[in-house]
């Protein structure tokens, strides 16, 4: 009985932990991004990884603005359109989120788990070796 209560509480906490905002950061899971793209939403996909990482592969339609250059290049990002920030795992995208929030960008989302989770999601949906959703 107590074990079930503890396990239920732990499961609830784990679900909350996966969807909660971190310090006000809004996250999308890969399936949420895929849905928004399938709906044709006018999103700006901003990849903040290094140029080498971007060249090795990136989401179709994404633009490369490395985190180290973001402060100088914010003018390239439209304030009126939603921005999805992408990096390898989510850490640099969170830093980019805070930089852009301080510059009064309001429609910001971080791809939870970055390209690592995106690639895993695409493989799961399309099968092993699938390159769909990746350039």
**Is 25 in contact with 110 (CB distance < 8 Å)?**
yes
Nearest residue to 112 via CA among 102, 104, 120, 101: 120
* Nearest-angstrom CA–CA distance, 4 and 67: 45
DSSP-H helix ranges across 39-129? 51-56, 70-73, 91-102, 114-126
19 bridge partner residues: none
The residue from 77, 86, 87, 115 that is catalytic is: 87
Question: Of 93, 95, 28, 33, whose CA–CA distance to 60 is shortest?
Answer: 33
Whether residue 20 lies in the annotated active site: no
Which positions are catalytic? 87
């Amino acid at each position: 009985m107590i074990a079930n209560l503890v396990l239920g509480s732990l499961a609830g906490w784990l679900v909350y932990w996966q969807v909660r905002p971190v310090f006000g950061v809004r996250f999308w899971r890969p399936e949420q991004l895929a849905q928004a793209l399938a709906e044709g939403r006018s999103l700006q996909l901003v990849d903040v990884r290094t140029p080498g990482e971007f060249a090795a592969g990136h989401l179709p339609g994404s633009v490369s603005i490395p985190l180290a250059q973001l402060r100088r290049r914010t003018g390239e990002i439209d304030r009126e359109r939603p921005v999805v920030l992408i990096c390898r795992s989510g850490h640099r995208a969170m830093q980019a989120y805070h930089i852009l929030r301080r510059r009064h960008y309001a429609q910001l989302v971080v791809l939870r788990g970055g390209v690592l989770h995106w690639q895993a999601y695409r493989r799961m949906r399309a099968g092993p070796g699938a390159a769909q959703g990746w350039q």
